[in-house]
Structure 1
Amino acid sequence: MREALDRVGSKWSIGILIAASTGPVRFTELERRVEGISRRMLTLTLRNLERDGLLVRHVHPTVPPRVEYTATPMARELHESLVALTRWAERHRESISAARAAYDREHPVAKPTRSV
């Protein structure tokens, strides 16, 4: 169970799955929609999601080849939960940031000491 949750809850998987849930999406469109992801990380994450049965990769026989990714029924079932999770994170972003700052003030990290 942990492995599955780690995969769908990873930094990039949520955005990719949400983007692919509305229908077929091309690699370049995913690059635009998933802010901050590198081409390499997008490729690796797509492969892992395909391997886990959450995405299907369609290669169209054109020149150049056109590749699209589509969410599987299993991924579409997960969509509502992922959207709710991202909305929750957006709503509470400032509160979480303030809580972290307060914690850090109350629990300062000891500065490394120099050995002489």
Structure 2
Amino acid sequence: MRGILSRIGDKWSVSVICSLGERPRRFNELRRTVDGITQRMLTSTLRALERDGIVSRRVFPTTPPAVEYALTAVGYDMQRVLHTLAAWADEHADAIDAARVRYDEQAQA
């Protein structure tokens, strides 16, 4: 379970899953949609997501070969969970911010 949860907690994986949730994308298009990710990190993230069965990789027989990445059924299921988590975070953001301020004030006292 820890390995799966670490994938969800990985900043780049979440961004890639959200981007691919809109539609399948080619590598460079995906890189442009995931702000701040390097080519090396995107490659590593895609390999890990493919290994986990969250992303599929499709190679088109063109010159040069075109590669498209898409979410699998498991990936779409994960995206649904991520959207639920994002909605929860949005709904509770003010309460969390207020709790942090209170905690920091008490820690400084």
**Partner residue in 1 for 2:57:** 57
**Partner residue in 2 for 1:114:** none
Q: TM-score under structure 2 normalisation?
A: 0.82
Q: CA RMSD in A?
A: 1.9
Using a 3 Å threshold, how does the CA distance of structure 1 residues 34 and 88 change in structure 2: closer, same or farther? farther
Structure 2 unaligned blocks of 5 or more: none
Q: TM-score under structure 1 normalisation?
A: 0.78
Per-residue CA deviation, residues 21-70 of structure 1 (Å, 9 max, x unaligned), is 23321112222222222222111111100011111111212222211101
Report percent identity of matched pairs: 46
Deviates more, 1:96-105 or 1:25-34: 96-105
Higher share in helix? 2
**Partner residue in 2 for 1:15:** 15
Larger Rg: 1
Q: How many residues align?
A: 108
Cα distance in structure 2, aligned partners of 1:61 and 1:67: 9
**Partner residue in 2 for 1:2:** 2
**Partner residue in 1 for 2:79:** 79
Report deviation, 1:94: 4.5
* 4+ aligned runs moved over 3 Å, structure 1: 90-95
Code of the residue aligned with 2:51 in structure 1: it is R
**Partner residue in 1 for 2:107:** 107
Code of the residue aligned with 1:80 in structure 2: it is R
Report the secondary structure of 2:11's partner residue.
coil
Cα distance in structure 1, aligned partners of 2:39 and 2:94: 30
